[in-house]
């Protein structure tokens, strides 16, 4: 086993090996700055023109006891010169800042993958906290991988000694030392990170100096130090991306921006109310900082008040939006019924996490689909959309605003923890290129009652304050012809039918279902929704490269389903539905279309790997 600096050779830049793509994971204590390191490296990689996807994975505890396995925070990035569809199956490189990070992450590494290990944290106390009986470097447990043990802590302290920081603050710069080394490995420029540090720590110049010194030292270490066998420099060409202006975007940012743009296209003020919940709070934070765009945000006293205030705002003529994760959506369901029966536009964001109940708050899952489509008392249909990636969430948010306001209905947008936290390069759109869909508030009293319907069966939206249109709405059943309270049996049938027909009719206002890859008929269709898009896409393309006939169908509009979906699915012998739940979309497809759909299900708090889906596809075709 290579020890620090031994069995080494000098690495010349000329010897850099070219790669198509690589997966790197940083892992350490939640106080080690792992997420920050990851996001800085993401920006560096993006600016170098690579395509990428990231997967931040952190514990629910804010500061779990130092050195424990449950306090480990990780950040994975897959980047390359080809189009990147997922955050990567298995890392090529793991940077582990302590024994606990090694223990919890090394099993995911590729056979023969590289572990850059901070042995400055290697002592009996940390071994014990990580659950190791002794030094894992000496027990033969790491022979599947190449280990590069290096005392990052010592090197960092050495680098920052002239910065004027104390030892504690100096040690906190070790993530930047490691980032410098990884920057060197992949031929990435440290300049953007330096610029970021200078701006972030402009009020703490000593901390800035220490972090920059550590970053540069890590980079210089790669350039000058003797590297052990197998540790070398690589280079990756720019990815073939469509021309234009890019930025990195997370699902959270994308949703927030999409909602603001959607409100603008509808000509509405945006009113956003939510109650803090992991992982959905980030949308509230993002919008609370955008008051200059006329956004009103409201942190309500609970989930019910959050949706209540959004419904009140919708009644008053604003774009009412609420946001939560599964447990909070469950609390909102009664109020959702009110928005459905009073036929008010409302956007409900569900950033799904592992359930049931509190479940695993920081882990991803797709298990709220049934809740979104069916989870209310009474016959209470609404629109359900899903985002497939961070960038896609922008367009889905706009689509949600369009459908909610045109059809006077709540729309649930399903995202998940993965989409919310993950980042990817995003071709920044021109807001002017979106077709506006201005809301026409009713002002004409002639022939008015609150439930008089247009050709889409949508009722009029009236701003309180409009002269001559004062009216009352509520949760009680309404007379079809006047909007007044009615308990008439035939009327209830008629109103229930009208509410259903209105939502069914949305299918005429959305695109027909397209096929992402492959033919429109054949032996096998892989049908997905939400964040499984990336791994399904790549798995299908891998199998197709071998000449096998398999198609990929991805649903953005989940309810109502696209009008041609049934016919499309009936053109395939087999239908495989990978989902991060125990089989929810697959059940819907079977009950809607009587097709022989089968599930591929995983609920481990982590996305599917490409290989898992690829294996399932191959077994269907063999």
Shorter beta-carbon distance to another protein: residue 165 or 261: 261
- Give me Rg for the CA atoms of the chain: 27
Instruction: Tell me if 391 contacts another protein by CB under 8 A.
Output: no
Distance CA 56, CA 30 (A): 12
Which residues neighbour 552 within 8 Å (Cβ) at sequence distance 6 or greater?
515, 516, 517, 518, 525, 526, 528, 536, 537, 540
CA 308, distance to chain mean position in Å, is 26
Near another protein in 98-157, by CB under 8 A: none
293 belongs to the binding site for another protein (CB under 8 A)? yes
Q: Which is nearer to another protein, 259 or 524 (CB)?
A: 259
Q: Determine if 257 is a binding residue for another protein (CB under 8 A).
A: yes
314 binding another protein? (CB under 8 A): yes
Binding mask 267-286 for another protein (x = CB under 8 A): --x-x-x-------------
| 308 in contact with another protein (CB under 8 A) | yes
Residue 526 host element (H or E): strand 522-529
Q: Which residues in 29-68 contact another protein (CB under 8 A)?
A: 43, 46-47, 49
| 381 CB-near residues (< 8 Å, 6+ apart) | 340, 499, 500, 503, 504, 559
CA distance 542 to 371: 33
Reported residue count of the chain is: 622
Max Cα-Cα span within the chain: 89
Q: Which is nearer to another protein, 191 or 621 (CB)?
A: 191
How many CB atoms within 10 Å of residue 192? 17
Q: How far, in Å, CA of 501 to CA of 356, rounded? A: 32
Is there a cis peptide before residue 186, judged by omega within 30 degrees of 0?
no
179-208: contacts with another protein (CB under 8 A): 192
Long-range contacts (CB closer than 8 Å, 24 or more residues apart) made by 505-510: 505/407, 505/456, 505/457, 506/383, 506/403, 506/407, 506/409, 506/557, 506/560, 507/557, 507/560, 507/561, 507/562, 507/563, 508/563, 509/403, 509/406, 509/407, 509/456, 510/403, 510/557, 510/560, 510/562
- For residue 539, the surrounding DSSP H or E stretch is helix 533-545
Is 18 an interacting residue with respect to another protein (CB under 8 A)? no
Q: Closest separation between CB of residue 336 and another protein, Å?
A: 10
Q: Considering only residues 7, 191, 485, 594, which one is a binding residue for another protein as defined by CB under 8 A?
A: 485
In the complex with another protein, the residue whose CB is nearer, 72 or 306, is 306
CB of 259 to another protein, least distance (A): 11
Choose, by CB under 8 A, the member of 18, 139, 229, 240 that binds another protein: 240
Asked if 316 is part of the footprint of another protein (rule: CB under 8 A), the reply reads yes
Map the footprint of another protein across residues 72-101, applying CB under 8 A. none
The yes or no reply on residue 291 touching another protein (CB under 8 A) is yes
Smallest separation (angstroms) from another protein to the CB of 340: 12
Query: What is the nearest approach in angstroms of another protein to the Cβ of residue 334?
Result: 6
Judged by DSSP in three states, 3 sits in coil
Structure tokens at 32: 């080690």
| Nearest-angstrom CA–CA distance, 258 and 182 | 34
**Is residue 372 within the footprint of another protein (CB under 8 A)?**
no
Stretch that binds another protein, among 176-184, 240-248, 277-285, 502-510 (CB under 8 A): 240-248
Q: Which is nearer to another protein, 124 or 301 (CB)?
A: 301
Q: Is 15 in the site for another protein (CB under 8 A)?
A: no
Using alpha carbons, list the distances in angstroms from residue 170 to 97, 201, 209.
15, 14, 10
d(CA 581, CA 387): 16
Please state whether 500 falls in left (phi above 0), alpha (psi between -120 and 50) or beta. alpha
Residue 215 lies near another protein (rule: CB under 8 A): no
Measured from the CB of residue 378, what is the shortest distance to another protein in angstroms?
12
Q: Give the one residue of 292, 455, 546, 591 binding another protein; rule: CB under 8 A.
A: 292
Instruction: Pick the binder of another protein from 267, 276, 312, 505 (CB under 8 A).
Output: 312
Residue 273 CB, shortest distance to another protein, in Å, is: 7
Interface with another protein in residues 332-371 (CB under 8 A): 334-335, 337-338, 342
3-class secondary-structure state, position 486:
coil
> How many other CB atoms are found less than 10 A from the CB of residue 216?
18
Q: Does residue 248 bind another protein (CB under 8 A)? A: yes
Question: How far, rounded to the nearest angstrom, does the alpha carbon of residue 330 sit from its chain's CA centroid?
Answer: 21
Pick 164 or 468: Cβ nearer another protein: 468
The number of residues that bind another protein (CB under 8 A) is 74
Helix (H) or strand (E) holding 593: helix 585-593
Write the CA distances from 376 to 312, 335, 620, integer angstroms: 20, 9, 36
Beta carbon of residue 428, minimum distance to another protein (angstroms, whole number): 5
Tell me how crowded residue 166 is: count the other CB atoms within 10 A of its CB: 10
Which residue lies nearer to another protein by CB, 165 or 314?
314
The candidate with the shortest Cα–Cα distance to 525, out of 580, 582, 566, is 566
Smallest gap from residue 277 Cβ to another protein (A): 16
Minimum separation from the CB atom of position 484 to another protein (A): 6
CB of 533 to another protein, least distance (A): 22
Among residue numbers 445 through 484, which ones bind another protein (CB under 8 A)?
463-476, 484
Least distance to another protein from the beta carbon of 54, Å? 15
Q: Does 488 bind another protein (CB under 8 A)?
A: no
Closest approach of another protein to the CB of residue 409, in Å: 17
In the complex with another protein, the residue whose CB is nearer, 199 or 591, is: 199
Q: Cβ 309 to another protein, closest distance in Å?
A: 3
- Least distance between another protein and beta carbon 197 (Å): 14
Minimum Å gap between C-beta 369 and another protein is 25
Judged by CB under 8 A, which of 12, 302, 454, 519 binds another protein? 302
Q: Which residue among 150, 261, 287, 371 contacts another protein (CB under 8 A)?
A: 261
d(CA 323, CA 258) in angstroms, rounded, equals 14
């Amino acid at each position: 086993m290579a020890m620090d600096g031994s069995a080494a050779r000098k690495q010349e830049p000329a010897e850099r090996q070219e790669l198509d793509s690589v997966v790197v994971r940083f892992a350490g204590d939640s106080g080690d700055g792992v997420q920050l390191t990851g996001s800085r490296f993401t920006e560096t990689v993006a600016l170098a023109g690579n395509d990428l996807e990231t997967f931040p994975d952190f514990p629910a505890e804010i500061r779990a006891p130092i050195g424990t396995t449950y306090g480990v925070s990780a950040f994975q990035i897959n980047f390359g010169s080809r189009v990147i569809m997922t955050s990567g199956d298995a890392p090529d490189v793991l940077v582990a800042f302590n024994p606990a990070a090694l223990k919890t992450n090394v099993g995911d590494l590729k056979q023969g993958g590289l572990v850059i290990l901070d042995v400055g944290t290697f002592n009996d106390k940390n071994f014990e906290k990580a659950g190791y009986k002794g030094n894992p470097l000496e027990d033969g447990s790491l022979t599947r991988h190449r280990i590069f043990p290096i005392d990052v802590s010592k090197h960092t302290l050495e680098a920052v000694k002239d910065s004027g920081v104390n030892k504690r603050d100096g040690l906190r710069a070790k993530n930047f030392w490691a980032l410098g080394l990884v920057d060197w490995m992949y031929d990435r420029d440290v300049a953007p990170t330096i610029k970021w540090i200078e701006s972030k720590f402009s009020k703490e110049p000593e901390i800035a100096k220490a972090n920059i010194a550590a970053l540069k030292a890590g980079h210089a270490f790669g350039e000058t130090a003797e590297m052990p066998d197998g540790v070398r420099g690589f280079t990756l060409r720019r990815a073939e991306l469509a021309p234009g202006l890019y930025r990195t975007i997370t699902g959270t940012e994308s949703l927030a921006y999409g909602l603001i743009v959607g409100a603008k296209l509808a000509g509405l003020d945006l009113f956003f109310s939510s109650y803090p919940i992991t992982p959905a709070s980030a949308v509230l934070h993002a919008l609370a900082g955008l008051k200059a765009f006329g956004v009103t945000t409201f942190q309500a006293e609970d989930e019910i008040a959050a949706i209540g205030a959004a419904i009140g705002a919708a009644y008053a003529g604003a774009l009412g939006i609420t946001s939560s994760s599964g447990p909070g959506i469950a609390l909102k369901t009664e109020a959702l019924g009110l928005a459905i029966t009073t036929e008010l536009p409302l956007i409900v964001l569900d950033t799904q996490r592992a359930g049931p109940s509190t479940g695993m708050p920081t882990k991803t899952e797709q298990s709220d689909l049934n809740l979104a489509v069916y989870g209310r008392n009474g016959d209470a249909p609404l629109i359900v959309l899903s985002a497939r990636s961070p960038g896609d969430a922008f367009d889905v948010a706009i689509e949600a605003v369009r459908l909610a306001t045109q059809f006077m209905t709540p729309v649930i947008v399903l995202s998940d923890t993965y989409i919310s936290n993950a980042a990817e390069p995003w071709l920044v759109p021109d807001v002017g290129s979106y077709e506006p869909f201005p809301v026409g508030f009713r002002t004409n009293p002639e022939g008015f009652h609150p439930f008089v319907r247009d050709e889409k069966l949508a009722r009029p939206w009236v701003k309180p304050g409009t002269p001559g249109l004062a009216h009352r709405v509520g949760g009680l059943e309404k007379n079809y012809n006047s909007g007044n309270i009615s308990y008439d049996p035939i009327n209830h049938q008629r109103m229930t039918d009208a509410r259903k027909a209105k939502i069914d009719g949305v299918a005429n206002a959305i695109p027909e279902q397209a096929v992402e890859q492959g033919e429109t008929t054949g032996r096998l269709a892989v049908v997905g929704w939400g964040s499984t898009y990336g791994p399904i896409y790549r798995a299908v393309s891998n199998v197709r490269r071998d000449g096998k006939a398999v198609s990929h169908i991805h649903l953005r509009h989940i309810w109502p389903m696209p009008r041609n979906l049934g016919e499309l699915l009936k053109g395939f012998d087999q239908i495989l539905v990978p989902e991060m739940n125990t089989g929810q979309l697959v059940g819907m497809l079977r009950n809607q279309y009587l097709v022989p759909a089968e599930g591929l299900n995983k609920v481990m708090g982590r996305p599917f790997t490409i290989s898992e889906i690829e294996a399932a596809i191959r077994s269907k075709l063999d």
